[in-house]
A and B are shown apart, each in its own frame.
Chain A
């Protein structure tokens, strides 16, 4: 045999042995994996009930955060859109928000509540201004959280947007704590001015401690169009839409028939994408719960002090 043939033979044998080795290892790996899975499943089956019970108890122990925190402090929850998420930034923002809250009391309020905001204003005469109005919009989360107040002053509608964690804010006071039928009251722009007129010297109304926040089922009359938005399509619950005429009526009817989505409220996936899951909410609020709770207690004490009037001696 020539050298060349020998060389080729050796080569092929080496290749063969390599393949067989590989196959062996592959089989071994497969076998090991199967064994492991089997072991794991057996273990899981035996202890699954225990694990569930343990998890439940853990959750109950963990669940010190009141469930209404997501309504009282909605701006602590991040934006559900994954594009805007950044866990480090969110955490830093939360600590900043807590620090600001230790300086100024930002009370619980909702869209539809009437607020009085005192802010330092370099342009004003006394360097502070006070604005009273109904909260018509609440937007964004974190340090960018803001709310818009609306009032009618001298027959002219005025709206001011305030950022909740703006250092210029000096005092935020809730004059009337209530909710309305909608999550946005922008239709008040197209309603009669009486529905958004509030006196600047309005007194704060008292609500019993622990009482549920009342929902005001008020329905406002809208003026005939032109409007700020197409209310006949959006159909807000708290607005009485006047009878439309002619082409606009036809068009709105057609549109509602074609594009309305009555199944939208059953769309679980849509709801999921728009909200932060409960577990995540718990983890967020449990981090800041102690601070928030301390602040709540302090503010309650202050309120009681203010509400208590020393009886006077008579006679």
Chain B
């Protein structure tokens, strides 16, 4: 009898765990294990996107752990660790800050120079100021990313 009850309980638990819908509103936050879209023309990024295996965040370099425009992230891409800068978010933004239809990332190396040579989507104007502030003198220079952008909104 008792065993039977337990089995029933576990069945219910499985059903709850496997339900295919959200119980809360989607807020599109970028945190651990969120998928991103690589928008530069770096070789590894292009191959990952073509194979349908977009990069996954496994660290956000800020104190909240939630990535927004201009935040540096560590991503797992094609079995490698790469750093990237978030250049566009799907999440609802404040007034005058653009909101994009996808979560975009540009891959960079440790010095802050991008792996690709071209970004083929618009990036926010706001990024100019943010990246300039984040750049460390005689350290990583993130503003190189702005030079390869094609369009600002």
**Residue positions of A touching B, CB distance < 8 A:** 119, 121-124, 129, 131, 146, 153-163, 166, 168, 189
Asked if A153 and B153 sit within 8 Å, CB to CB, the answer is: yes
Interface residues on chain B, size class: 20 to 34
Asked if B129 and A161 sit within 8 Å, CB to CB, the answer is: no
A131-B153, A153-B153, A154-B150 given; A160·B99 CB < 8 A? yes
Give the A-B contact count at a CB cut-off of 8 A: 65
A to B CB contacts below 8 Å, 12 in the list: A123-B126, A123-B127, A123-B129, A131-B153, A156-B102, A157-B101, A159-B100, A161-B93, A161-B96, A161-B99, A162-B95, A163-B95
The CA of A161 and the CA of B153, in the complex, are separated in Å by 13
Asked if A156 and B95 sit within 8 Å, CB to CB, the answer is: no
A contact residues around B150 at 8 Å (CB): 154
Interface of A is mostly: strand
**Residue positions of B touching A, CB distance < 8 A:** 88, 93-102, 104, 120-122, 124-129, 150-153
Of B96, B99, B124, which contacts A119 at CB under 8 A?
B96
The CA of A158 and the CA of B128, in the complex, are separated in Å by 18
Asked if B129 and A160 sit within 8 Å, CB to CB, the answer is: no
Asked if A166 and B95 sit within 8 Å, CB to CB, the answer is: yes
Shortest CB distance B105–A (Å): 13
- Tell me which of A129, A131, A158 has the highest count of chain B C-beta atoms within 10 A of its own C-beta: A158
Q: Which 7 A-B pairs have the closest CB atoms?
A: A157-B101, A123-B125, A156-B121, A159-B99, A153-B122, A124-B125, A163-B95
Asked if A154 and B98 sit within 8 Å, CB to CB, the answer is: no
Asked if A159 and B98 sit within 8 Å, CB to CB, the answer is: yes
Asked if B98 and A158 sit within 8 Å, CB to CB, the answer is: yes
